[in-house]
Structure 1
């Protein structure tokens, strides 16, 4: 581990300055304790790349859970059961090995930090961790507090989504505080069966349509439910609808009709939610139609088609940032409600066979 860390520092210095520091002197980070050293060697580490210079990670060891983030702003307010902690040699080492953490220091800064500190120098017992941390891209570490049992804290994608929403810097999208609150609620309180990688991709997007389409795809996963809920009953099929849908598509290429399925799903949500969908999706020149599932599906599907297909008759409407923000908010709360209604039915955790 130490050879890799200091080897990477030497390589980075050599790229910045030819002839930089060529020696074989041993260097290492001063250890904290035996438990931390075991964490570095034995922890289960999952890395979630988010971009060229950003990532999230979950570290599990000895019954404890840690998360780390790099390239993202630290939120002012963290989720319940989530606490920021100082880095340790073990945590840093676990992330370093698995995330290919880049060096950000110049050759001069690296030289000042390591050239005259190594084995053989009187009093050397290893480099101070902070000295080494300052040479790499910044990483922030967090621990799940003892006794915290929220389900969302088990998922790296959900924790990452909550973290990004809570710490959203105001760009690239002008998401309002109300919309960010709905996004946070989606990640922290949404149904287990929600495909959380989709809203996370949307939140990290640089365009409104991209975020919209990811939220649309969340609902799209449930399109088979209305039809297959009836078929499952007639066939006395005991497995989940998700399994039945996969079987039908792979064997006979059956897929539900999109707008028809969306209409059937939205007819089951609350009338107030349908009214908010039509209000949000009806632009300034439009007349708001009656709050039916059909009318809601038509609005949502038309906007989806306008940004998926490239045909003259389907040109995307001009939508202001404020209108997009309202649409994203409405889609978030609609996704939450739809999965509360259909999530268990889709996965087979519900006894509802109607």
Structure 2
């Protein structure tokens, strides 16, 4: 649990100040100077002592965060009109009641700093900030947390069920799951491709760069999607060679310069990317390689080896040199390739994950 507790009074004071500033632009009446929320003791304790694991602003939903409280992880985000019907409630349990109130307050007070534009300033004044005929403005006025909820952007909150593959402090992994389930992608992925994305997010391999996989899912370009997935494979380039070096005993030499030379000669793979791809592809199932052959058939890449095709297409979309040409495929071929890349990534990390991340 966080060692530096938050000050609940200060958090709510900032929220109310934000509402006053927002209402002042339109309502020319006395605004109540002292307010306090009638949140429960349970919500107050969550607000003051929960640990912020991670937070991110993003393009799909406005904001994402993970909080930890009493050993449990909580995922929350802002965003309207999302189809969350396919969220597995055995993995992500919707948060209601006191803990939801606490998460709502934490999101808006610490990060969003924004009033909901669909709520009028006069409504906020009438509901929260007015001074009633029988009210003393010098005494704190209690505010129902339910009234406060309507003044800010909608927050969705879920408890991550203990023991699931998502019970890890990895915001990108959780975001990826919700993005796939709520169908926020721009590219028209078919069910098979979506299932391959889901398989990656659902797996327990810790070395997968889930932020890159998520970026591949939400991008609006097949070329960009392919390039991001290439980066997931690129991360593995030094691994086969390093495994070989560890097994040979060469690293037992005492001179640091000799070790540096060995690393440079063997792991400094640039400009030997095609060989690096070939090394990580070496033990892939033949069925995956056959699927790559089906992509290159009837294209300018027909006859290319698997690793040379992938590297050539990557270069054509990363570098701008006339000699490389333009890397293009039909939309059907692009989606076919992306599905294969996702399955290749799964198989490669199945093989190498334990070599990269110690358990």
Moved over 6 A (4+): none
- Normalising by structure 2, what TM-score? 0.81
Unaligned runs of 5+ in 1: 239-243, 350-354
Give 1:21 deviation, angstroms. 5.3
- Answering whether residue 245 of structure 2 is matched by residue 234 of structure 1, we say no
How large is the Cα RMSD of the aligned pairs?
Answer: 3.0
Change (3 A) 1:248 1:220: farther
In the alignment, the residues of structure 2 paired with residue 127 and residue 320 of structure 1 have an alpha-carbon distance, to the nearest angstrom, of: 58
Report what 2:47 is aligned to.
Answer: 40
In the alignment, the residues of structure 1 paired with residue 29 and residue 227 of structure 2 have an alpha-carbon distance, to the nearest angstrom, of: 51
Please give the secondary structure, in 1, of the residue aligned with 2:205: coil
Report what 1:110 is aligned to.
Answer: 124
Tell me if structure 2 keeps the 8 A contact 1:83–1:142. yes
Report what 2:8 is aligned to.
Answer: none
Give 1:328 deviation, angstroms. 1.6
Unaligned runs of 5+ in 2: 1-10
Give 1:252 deviation, angstroms. 5.1
In the alignment, the residues of structure 2 paired with residue 198 and residue 179 of structure 1 have an alpha-carbon distance, to the nearest angstrom, of: 16
Report what 2:287 is aligned to.
Answer: 272
Please give the secondary structure, in 2, of the residue aligned with 1:319: coil
Among 189, 197, 202, the alignment partner of 1:183 is: 197
Which whole-Å deviations, capped at 9, do the CAs of 1:183-233 have from their partners, x for residues lacking one? 111011151111111112222322222221111111111101222222122
Among 68, 71, 83, the alignment partner of 2:76 is: 68
Tell me if structure 2 keeps the 8 A contact 1:202–1:212. yes
Single out whichever of 312-321 and 270-279 deviates more from structure 2: 312-321
Q: How does 1:4-83 map to 2 (within 5 A)?
A: 4-14=14-24, 16-17=25-26, 23-32=31-40, 34-45=41-52, 46-51=54-59, 54-71=62-79, 73-79=82-88, 80-83=90-93
Tell me if structure 1 keeps the 8 A contact 2:172–2:211. yes
Tell me if structure 2 keeps the 8 A contact 1:20–1:107. no
In the alignment, the residues of structure 1 paired with residue 275 and residue 234 of structure 2 have an alpha-carbon distance, to the nearest angstrom, of: 11
Which whole-Å deviations, capped at 9, do the CAs of 1:49-79 have from their partners, x for residues lacking one? 2139612111111122211122372432114
Report what 1:100 is aligned to.
Answer: 112
